[in-house]
């Protein structure tokens, strides 16, 4: 378990560095190549309770797992032969003279935060499309910060990565998001995250009876809707509605605890699946943009084909659909959702890690 008091102090310290981070000493770039791999995540219950507007009046809780799909970040010194001293390759290519000219807001904020100086080359690739509901933006932020720290010759803990990424996304970039995705990316594994008044976060790694983790994943199906949604639009409405929906959010928090207990005890897949259904029906009330007629149609078709329950991953509005169903009904669910592409997943025990330079 993470020391929540120290994390709260760390969060306060980071807040004092907000803005341009002008107090930092500019880094001296190290030679060599750095590659990080950072996992995406699937959350099962408690989404929305990681907003300060909720957890400052009573702690929030999210149950989630990192999965074996990743964001990769590569850093190297950019040679003067290429002209512009900063080059970024992601879904676009940027070649600029200064950090302030970078259009990619996460890259610009991370470079400012650590006072990075050119020349530098950065590229990033992911296993899934952006705007997927699997936490890819936060995984990118965590992975880039991890790579930059290594580039500077620094060792960094998962708790520090999570808090720095949350600070950058929430404070520096003013994104209307919570803190669960940064923690899932930094820590990996299957965890219950408790979000405490004052900003502390407790990370409780889940312990399973033999075979339960595999049994759970054997009952899960994940489908890409093909709809890339803009999470800030959905989450801004959800955040604005916190007071009006505090009862529903409290129910989602309790459900995270209940699902945790179910996994730790005598696991019943159908009970878990029907809990997903209950949570999804509650979550749809939090904002008008979480679901629509098309999404509801897919959901009802999956249930008619034998799924016990499911949910849209992330903020909602599109992205990936998660379902729990008995394995013998999987072919029927796939047929019912024939126009959607399936993504096979398993759990990932590790958080953001350094692939290069390799350390024995």
Which of these, 31, 35, 74, 30, lies nearest to 358 by C-alpha position?
35
Lowest mean pLDDT among 156-160, 185-189, 265-269, 295-299: 265-269
Residue 81's pLDDT is what?
Answer: 73
Residue 190's pLDDT is what?
Answer: 96
CATH of the domain at 229: 3.30.70.890
- 3-state SS class at 248: helix
Please tell me the distance from the alpha carbon of residue 338 to that of residue 87, in angstroms, as a whole number. 41
| pLDDT classification of 78: cutoffs 50, 70, 90 | confident
| pLDDT classification of 4: cutoffs 50, 70, 90 | very low
Same domain, yes or no: 222 and 202:
no
Same domain, yes or no: 170 and 216:
no
Please tell me the distance from the alpha carbon of residue 279 to that of residue 46, in angstroms, as a whole number. 8
Same domain, yes or no: 40 and 123:
yes
Please tell me the distance from the alpha carbon of residue 52 to that of residue 8, in angstroms, as a whole number. 13
CATH of the domain at 198: 3.30.230.10
Number of domain units in the chain: 2
Residue 29's pLDDT is what?
Answer: 47
- What percent of the chain shows pLDDT beyond 70? 87
pLDDT(350) > 60: yes
Same domain, yes or no: 334 and 352:
no
Same domain, yes or no: 282 and 257:
yes
Residue 248's pLDDT is what?
Answer: 85
Lowest mean pLDDT among 13-22, 193-202, 345-354: 13-22
- 3-state SS class at 221: strand
Please tell me the distance from the alpha carbon of residue 23 to that of residue 13, in angstroms, as a whole number. 13
Please tell me the distance from the alpha carbon of residue 234 to that of residue 316, in angstroms, as a whole number. 7
H-assigned helices in the chain: 4-15, 52-55, 105-113, 136-151, 158-166, 180-187, 212-218, 231-240, 246-264, 269-283, 293-304, 330-336
333 against 6, higher pLDDT = 333
C-alpha 238: how far from its chain's center? Answer: 17
| pLDDT classification of 13: cutoffs 50, 70, 90 | very low
What is the average per-residue pLDDT within 276-298?
87
CA angle 66, 71, 75 (to 5 degrees): 135
Residue 138's pLDDT is what?
Answer: 96
| pLDDT classification of 235: cutoffs 50, 70, 90 | low
Q: What is the mean pLDDT of the chain?
A: 86
Please tell me the distance from the alpha carbon of residue 276 to that of residue 325, in angstroms, as a whole number. 11
Same domain, yes or no: 157 and 235:
no
What is the average per-residue pLDDT within 212-226?
94
- Please give the residue range of the domain that contains residue 334: 212-342
105 contact partners, CB below 8 Å, separation of at least 6: 173
Same domain, yes or no: 188 and 261:
no
Same domain, yes or no: 271 and 134:
no
Residue 122's pLDDT is what?
Answer: 96
pLDDT(28) > 60: no
pLDDT(11) > 50: no
Same domain, yes or no: 167 and 218:
no
pLDDT tens-place string over residues 109-166: 999 999 998 899 999 999 998 888 899 999 999 999 999 999 999 999 999 999 999 9
Model pTM score: 0.88
What is the average per-residue pLDDT within 230-242?
63
- Cα separation values, 34 from 29, 53, 76, 111, Å: 12, 37, 7, 15
pLDDT(14) > 60: no
Residue 233's pLDDT is what?
Answer: 60
Q: Would strands 120-126 and 86-89 be described as parallel, antiparallel, or unpaired?
A: parallel
Please tell me the distance from the alpha carbon of residue 275 to that of residue 309, in angstroms, as a whole number. 7
| pLDDT classification of 5: cutoffs 50, 70, 90 | very low
Q: At what angle do helices 4-15 and 158-166 cross, to 10 degrees?
A: 40
H-assigned helices in 189-268: 212-218, 231-240, 246-264
Same domain, yes or no: 147 and 270:
no
Same domain, yes or no: 140 and 283:
no
Same domain, yes or no: 51 and 155:
yes
Residue 234's pLDDT is what?
Answer: 61
- What percent of the chain shows pLDDT beyond 90? 64
pLDDT(243) > 80: no
């Amino acid at each position: 378990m993470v020391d929540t008091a120290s994390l709260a102090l760390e969060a306060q310290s980071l807040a004092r560095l907000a803005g341009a981070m002008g107090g930092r000493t500019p880094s001296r770039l190290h030679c060599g190549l750095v590659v990080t791999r950072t996992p995406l995540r699937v959350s099962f219950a408690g989404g929305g309770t990681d907003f300060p507007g909720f957890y400052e009046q009573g702690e929030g809780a999210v149950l989630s797992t990192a999965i074996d799909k990743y964001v990769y970040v590569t850093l190297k010194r950019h040679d003067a032969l290429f002209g512009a001293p900063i080059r970024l390759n992601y879904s676009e290519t940027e070649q600029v003279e200064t950090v302030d000219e970078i259009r990619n807001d996460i890259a610009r904020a991370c470079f400012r935060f650590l006072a990075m100086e050119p020349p530098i080359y950065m590229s990033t690739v992911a296993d899934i499309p952006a705007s997927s509901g699997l936490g890819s933006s936060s995984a990118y932020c965590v992975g880039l910060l991890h790579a930059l720290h290594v580039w500077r010759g620094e060792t960094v803990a998962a708790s520090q990565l999570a808090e720095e990424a949350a600070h950058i996304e929430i404070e520096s970039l003013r994104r209307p998001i919570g803190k669960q995705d940064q923690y899932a990316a930094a820590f990996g594994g299957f965890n219950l995250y408790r979000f405490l008044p004052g900003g502390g976060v407790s990370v409780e790694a889940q312990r399973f009876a033999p075979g339960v983790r595999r049994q759970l994943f054997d009952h899960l199906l994940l489908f890409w809707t093909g709809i890339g949604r803009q999470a800030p639009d959905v989450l801004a409405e959800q955040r604005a509605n916190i007071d009006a929906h505090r009862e529903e959010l409290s129910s989602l928090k309790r459900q995270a605890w209940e699902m945790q207990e179910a996994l730790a005890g005598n696991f019943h897949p159908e009970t878990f699946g029907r809990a997903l259904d209950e949570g999804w029906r509650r979550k749809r009330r939090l904002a008008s943009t979480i679901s629509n007629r098309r999404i509801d149609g897919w959901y009802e078709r999956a249930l008619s084909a034998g799924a016990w329950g499911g949910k849209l991953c992330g903020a909602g509005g599109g992205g990936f659909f998660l379902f729990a169903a008995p394995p013998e009904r999987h072919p029927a669910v796939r047929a019912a959702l024939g126009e959607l592409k399936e993504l096979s997943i398993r759990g990932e025990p590790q958080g953001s890690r350094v692939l290069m330079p390799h350390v024995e």
